[in-house]
Structure 1
Amino acid sequence: MAEQHIPTEITLHKQSKSLGLAYGEKQYKLSAEYLRVYSPSAEVRGHGPGQEVLQTQKENVGISQIEPVGHYAIKIYYDDGHDSGLYSWDYLYDLATNQDDLWQDYLNRLHQAGYQRQTQ
């Protein structure tokens, strides 16, 4: 069985709208917007390949709470009402370690769709 990457620490930063993840000495900070647009929910991913829904207007989304789900995931509650995605340990680790590439891919897809991000 493959090694499961379980965070040694999870910290919710409501002020900066981000989630801190620690894997031993490695630290990652994932923005609420990034986590929200990559939510593993059917609303975002669709029900099959090619059914993904590009998420827009999530620049100011925050996280109201997180809760553990068994010994394998966390559920993130966003202040826009979204709470249906379960973030498995492996998925969170993938989001953390591939953040630069995934974020750039998201920005590219927004650009292709003609959407202009609203930055503070």
Structure 2
Amino acid sequence: MNPASHPRPTELTVHGASRVLEVAFDDGARFRIPFELLRVYSPSAEVQGHGPGQAVLQTGKRDVTIVALEPVGHYAMQPTFSDGHDSGLYTWEYLYFLGSRQDELWAEYERRLAEAGLDRDAPMPAKGAGGCGRH
């Protein structure tokens, strides 16, 4: 699909108190994406891994906030989260995906947590040898 045909954001609003990013798109869609969802589904290599099956399950992100939000060209944004994570580039297409599939993504996250015997508030394990990221 031609990237020009993807919906583009017309408005980005960081709601600090409710910890949601509100994004309006030029096709009329408007999403309120919780910071926690943005953080646990960060598109960064340190969260997604460098290949299939290498994703790192994120925990303890319920209270994470966005402390800075930088534009990246005309195609993405790069948030800095309160836990220091700042390496995810969120394209407009990825934000639309996160916003439009929130229910499915939350269910998938909860399933992965249950399979790992964890809950959302479990602290992240200490970094082991061979890790590729800072957070």
The normalised TM-score by structure 1 is 0.93
Deviation at 1:116, TM superposition (A): 2.2
SS of the residue aligned with 2:9? coil
SS of the residue aligned with 1:8? strand
Confirm or deny: 8 A CA contact 2:48 2:55 kept in the other structure: yes
Q: Give the fraction of aligned pairs with identical amino acids, expressed as a percent.
A: 53
In structure 2, list runs of 5 or more residues that go unmatched: 122-135
Q: Which has the larger radius of gyration?
A: 2
State whether structure 2 residue 75 is matched by structure 1 residue 72. Answer: yes
Partner Cα distance (1:98, 1:50) in 2: 21
SS of the residue aligned with 1:12? strand
Q: Which is further off, 1-10 or 28-37?
A: 1-10
| Partner in structure 1 of residue 119 of structure 2 | 116
| Partner in structure 1 of residue 15 of structure 2 | 13
State whether structure 2 residue 84 is matched by structure 1 residue 81. Answer: yes
Partner Cα distance (1:77, 1:65) in 2: 5
**Amino acid in structure 2 at the alignment position of 1:48:** G
CA root-mean-square deviation? 1.1
Runs of 4+ in 1 over 3 A off after TM superposition: none
Partner Cα distance (1:72, 1:117) in 2: 30
State whether structure 2 residue 42 is matched by structure 1 residue 54. Answer: no
SS of the residue aligned with 1:39? coil
Deviation at 1:100, TM superposition (A): 0.8
Deviation at 1:67, TM superposition (A): 1.1
Aligned length: 118
